[in-house]
Structure 1
Amino acid sequence: MKISIERAVLLKAVAQAQSVVERRNTIPILANVLIEAEGSDVSFRATDLDIEVVDRVPAMVERAGATTVNAVMLHEIVRKLPDGATVALAADEAAGRLSIEAGRSSFSLATLPKEDFPVMASSEYAANFSAAAPVLRRLFDKSKFAISTEETRYYLNGVYMHVSEAEGGRVLRCVATDGHRLARIDADLPPGAEEMPGVIVPRKTVGELRKLLDDDEAQIAVSVSETKIRFATPEITLTSKVIDGTFPDYTRVIPTGNTKKMEVDAQAFAKAVDRVATVSSERSRAVKLQLDEDRLVLSVNAPDAGAAEEELAVAYGDDRLEIGFNAKYLLEIASQVDRENAVFMFNSAGEPALMREGNDTSAIYVVMPMRV
């Protein structure tokens, strides 16, 4: 194999590959990226056995072929090469080396046989559809903060993507929860997604997928089976196993009887929460909300550190209410609001609160209260 490729193109492809690779693994080949050159394209493939990413980029292919080389090492070398450089990669299979040359710099890296590289088995997909990048970005960006990091509840370690019924008909829905807060985001159901099985997309996959969704003009081809999900653009294909588990019935924790309504400027609310939480003890980070007519008082009382209080003008016309929340959860939920106003719906001090953006019910958030 012998190719020449622009540094910027190579860096982007290798960066995508090395982020999938597990830094600590007992199988040496999994630290490597598989480079395959053919025609006028080069593909870079990396896997951790749960996720596989393939990035195809244009290059000058002098001699077709394939090899595998340490992904992190290759990324570091390319990252440190000067902008605008043309990089020449040449594999010597007999010697088990890959030479990298750019300008006056040259490197030689050890390779492993391409035959040892595990390729994820192809799957029969039950549903194939296309979705605009901004639609998928909104679904995953607004829900991922609520993914659980508790390994024992592995079925909560991802975003549950499924087809659901809503007021206006069937929707494509993403839900994430860790038991303390919940995010439920809806989008119009794309043609072809009707038969999609509900799948739990792992946290790491959600992070990798984000890199495919930056281009607002891009259309993402999505394929879903009971065990795998695949997202593809013309250049990049991301395939992932889904979490083998049953997502709990989240509809039971979404309150329907909350009638006490508070409307507040989302940015002003987030900044006020952040300010008063400065004095709270890291362990509890509890913030008390005292609601009276058109007035909200946020307060924190940490006996070992101090106290803080801030008043905000809000739209509220119901009974007086005192309720406490984890400051971090309030901040994360408030930061999801794209519009000016956040609408909070309360019932009592011991029951979960609901939040949405204005009258938009396509994105709703639930947060459990704390004793304060």
Structure 2
Amino acid sequence: MKISIERATLLKAMSRAQGVVERRTTIPILSNVLIEASGDGASIRATDLDVEVVDRVPAMVEQAGATTVGAHTLHEIVRKLPDGAMVSLHHDAASERLHIVAGRSHFSLATLPREDFPVMASSEYDVTFAAPAPMLRRLFDKAKFAISTEETRYYLNGVYMHVADGPEGRSLRCVATDGHRLARVDAPVPAGAEAAPGVIVPRKTVGELKKLLEDDEAEITVSISETKIRFATPELALTSKVIDGSFPDYTRVIPLHNSRRLEVDAADFAAAVDRVATVSSERSRAVKLKLDQDRLVLSVNAPDTGAAEEELVVAYDAEPLEIGFNAKYLLEIAGQIERENAVFMFNSPGEPALVREGDDESAVYVVMPMRV
């Protein structure tokens, strides 16, 4: 194999690949990427046996062929080469080395046989549909902060993607929860997606998916089966196993009858929460919200370090209320609000609050209160 490829193109592909490759693995081949050259381009493939990414990049192919090489080492080499460099990759089958030449720089890396590289079996998918990248990016970006990191509840370690009945008819929905907060985000159902099975997309896949959805003009082909999900463009494909488990009935924890309505500027609210939480060194950092007529007082009382209080002018005309929340959860939810105002719907100090952007119900968040 002998190819020449532009440094920026190779760096972008290697950045995507090395995100999938585990730094510590007991299987040496999984530390490598598979480079296959043919025609007028090359494909760069990486996997950890659960997630696989394949990137097709333009290249000048002098000699077709394939080999595998250490992903992180190659990424670091390419990253440190000067901008605009042309990178030559030449695999010498006799010595089993990959020679990398760029300008006056020359590297020689050990390789492993391409036959040893595991390729994820291409299963038959139940449903395939196309969706614009910005729509999918919104669904996953707004939900992913609520993914659980508790490994014992593995079925919560991802985003549940399914077709559901929404406030404005059927919708493609992403849901994530860790038991303390919940995010539910809706989008119109793309043509052909109506029969899609509900799947739990793992946390790692959601993180890698961000790189695939960067292009606002891209149309993403989504293929779903009971065990796998695949997101693809003509140049890039991300295939992942889905979490084998049942996502809980999240509809039971979304409050429907909260009647105390608070409307507040999202940026001002987030900044005030951040400021008052500074005095607390605790990880939980409980912030108390004290509400009465058009006034919100945020306060933190940390016996070991001190106290803080800040007042905001808000729209609130219900009965007075005092309720506490984890500051981190409030900041994460406020960070999802793209419009100017956040709307909080409360019931009582011991019941969860519902949060949305103005009157838009396509993205709603639920947060459990804390004792303060």
Q: Which amino acid aligns with 1:138?
A: R
- 1:240 partner letter: S
SS of the residue aligned with 1:216? coil
Cα distance in 2 between the residues matched to 1:122 and 1:54:
13
- What amino acid maps onto 2:19 in structure 1? S
Q: 1:90: which partner in 2?
A: 90
* Aligned twin of 1:53: 53
What is the rounded CA distance, in whole Å, between the counterparts of 2:94 and 2:247 in structure 1? 50
Task: Give secondary structure in 2 for the equivalent of 1:329.
Answer: helix
The alpha-carbon deviation at position 284 of structure 1 amounts to 2.7
Aligned to 2:276: 276
Map of 1:348 onto structure 2: 348
Counterpart secondary structure, 2:137: helix
Which residue in the other structure is 2:189 paired with?
Answer: 189
* 1:286 is the counterpart of 2:286: yes
Asked whether the equivalents of residues 356 and 363 of structure 2 are also in contact (C-alpha less than 8 Å), the reply is: yes
Q: State which drifts further: 26-35 or 274-283.
A: 274-283
User: How far is 1:172 from its partner?
Assistant: 0.1
Structure 2 residue aligned with 1:26: 26
Q: Which amino acid aligns with 1:178?
A: D
Equivalent AA in structure 2 for residue 52 of structure 1? E
Instruction: Tell me whether 1:112 sits opposite 2:102 in the alignment.
Output: no
Q: Which residue of 2 aligns with 1:152?
A: 152
Partner residue of 2:2? 2
Equivalent position amino acid for 2:177 in 1: T
Alignment of 1:85-234 (within 5 A): 85-234=85-234
Distance 1:105 1:283 in 2: 48
**What are structure 2's unaligned runs of at least 5 residues?**
none
Q: Distance in 2 between matches of 1:283 and 1:231?
A: 37
Q: CA deviation at 1:257?
A: 1.2
What amino acid sits opposite 1:173 in the alignment? R
Determine the structure 2 residue equivalent to 1:303. 303
d(CA) in 2 for partners of 1:343, 1:5? 51
Question: Does residue 366 in structure 1 map to residue 366 in structure 2?
Answer: yes
3-state DSSP class of the match of 1:315? coil
Tell me, which stretches of 5 or more residues in structure 1 are unaligned?
none
Instruction: Provide the rounded CA distance (Å) in 1 between the counterparts of 2:174 and 2:19.
Output: 24
Q: Is the 2:87–2:101 contact (alpha carbons within 8 Å) kept by the matching residues of 1? A: yes
Amino acid at match of 2:180: H
Aligned length: 372
Q: Distance between the aligned counterparts of 1:91 and 1:270, measured in 2?
A: 54
C-alpha displacement of 1:321: 0.2
Q: In 1, Cα distance between the equivalents of 2:61 and 2:358?
A: 55
Aligned partner letter, 2:340: E
**Take 2:15 and 2:310, find their aligned partners in 1: how far apart are those partners?**
45
Deviations 1:200-227 (A, max 9, x none): 0000000000001111111111000000
Conserved 8 A contact 2:260-2:346: yes
2:79 and 2:283 map into 1 onto residues whose CA distance is 39
1:167 Cα offset (Å): 2.6
**Shift of residue 147, structure 1, vs aligned partner:** 0.2
Cα separation, 2, equivalents of 1:13 and 1:351: 47
Contact between 2:167 and 2:361, CA under 8 Å: does it hold in 1?
no
How far off is 1:281 after superposition? 2.9
TM-score norm. by structure 2 comes to: 0.99
Q: TM-score normalized by structure 1?
A: 0.99
- State the alpha-carbon separation in 2 of the partners of residues 245 and 172 from structure 1: 20
Once the 2 structures are TM-superposed, how far is the Cα of residue 344 of structure 1 from its aligned partner? 0.2
Describe the SS at the equivalent of 1:118. coil
Q: CA deviation at 1:282?
A: 2.0
**Residue identity in the other structure for 1:108:** S
Q: Shift in Å at residue 234 of structure 1?
A: 1.2
2:363 aligned counterpart, secondary structure: strand
2:124 and 2:195 mapped to 1: Cα distance? Answer: 14
In the TM superposition, residue 280 of structure 1 has moved relative to its aligned partner by 1.5
Q: Which amino acid in the other structure matches residue 271 of structure 1? A: A
2: distance between equivalents of 1:41 and 1:370?
56
- In the TM superposition, what is the alpha-carbon distance from 1:94 to its structure 2 partner? 1.9
**Deviation larger for 302-311 or 276-285:** 276-285
CA RMSD of superposed structures (Å)? 0.5
- 1:361 partner SS: strand
Q: Which amino acid aligns with 1:194?
A: E
CA distance in 2, matches of 1:139, 1:117: 33
CA contact (8 A) 2:148 2:156 kept: yes
Residues 161-170 or 305-314, more deviating: 161-170
Secondary structure at the residue paired with 1:371? coil
> Match of 1:322?
322
Equivalent residue number for residue 243 of structure 2: 243
Q: Secondary structure at the match of 1:316?
A: coil
